A = this chain, B = another copy of it.
Amino acid sequence: MNKIAYVHGYSERETIRLADQAGSLRELLHHDTVYPPGSKILEGGCGTGVQTITLARQNPGCEIISIDISQDSLRQARSLIEKETIANVAFRQADIFALPFTEESFDHVFVCFVLEHLPSPAEALYCLKKVLKAAGSMTVIEGDHGSWYCYPESREARLCVECLIKVQANLGGNALVGRQLYPLLRETDFRNVSVSPRMVYVDTSKPGLVESFSKNTFIAMVEGVKEQALGFGMIDEKTWQKGIRDLYRATEEDGTFSYTFYKGVGIK
């Protein structure tokens, strides 16, 4: 079991959060997640299937195999895909670090919000590369919590966000992996590596993003580590409460929120 526990757990709230996130960010992250019809695609670490829906919808002529190490996540993913009547996805319980596939059996590999949770992201890329055909592409999408800032900002708000980063680090993950995609894809010997930032900038001229991204994705994600942050003694209750209030303050009429995801593509 190389894959560590998710920071955010598998609560119902988390599923909602991931769904919200997928909805508001679909165009930004996935407008170019398009493969030639007939391709066989491996989705490594599909979680509850939120990205799987987009991947499948954008590539109706492709065969998608989506794996996750967690049976519980796969159960939710299967139920989601059935509800959406999507037919080109097969799910399988599997560990990225011990893939049950023949070498060079996939045309493309797709990994979204997975490396951030792994203590050895380069090893994961090596493992995934083995089952990728020569000249096939590896796509990796990750956030970078260190890219966040807002207006107005406070010391306490920043301390809360730092808790999110520290909790993920304590669990063996890396919440700052977005900025590192280029060296990761290069050190794992992919060719023609190209990384592009996908920045989410939110002000109140976009009320949908204030709700779906600033509140229901980012602040919800921070709030999700409260217990761990207090439990690890990273922050005290009073500072935490002020920090969360200040994060919500930046979603008011005159506030702004900035956050950046990175999408990297390399060729085997």
Contact = CB atoms under 8 A, between A and B. Distances in A.
A82 B144 CA distance: 45
Interface string A125-167: 0000000000000000000101101110100000000000000
Given A149-B146, A149-B147, A256 B199 contact: no
B256 A180 contact: yes
A197 B201 contact: yes
Contact of A254 (B186, B194, B197): B186
Interface residues of A, number: 31
A83 B137 CA distance: 48
B195 A203 contact: yes
A24 to B, nearest CB: 16
Copy count, this protein chain: 2
Contacts of A253: 186
Interface string A165-196: 00000000000100110110011000001111
A205 interface: yes
B199 A194 contact: no
Nearest to A192: B205
A260 interface: yes
A147 to B, nearest CB: 6
A71 interface: no
A239 interface: no
A193 B205 contact: yes
A146 B150 CA distance: 10
B150 A179 contact: yes
12 contacts: A144-B149, A147-B258, A150-B179, A151-B176, A151-B179, A153-B176, A182-B203, A182-B204, A183-B254, A195-B201, A197-B201, A201-B262
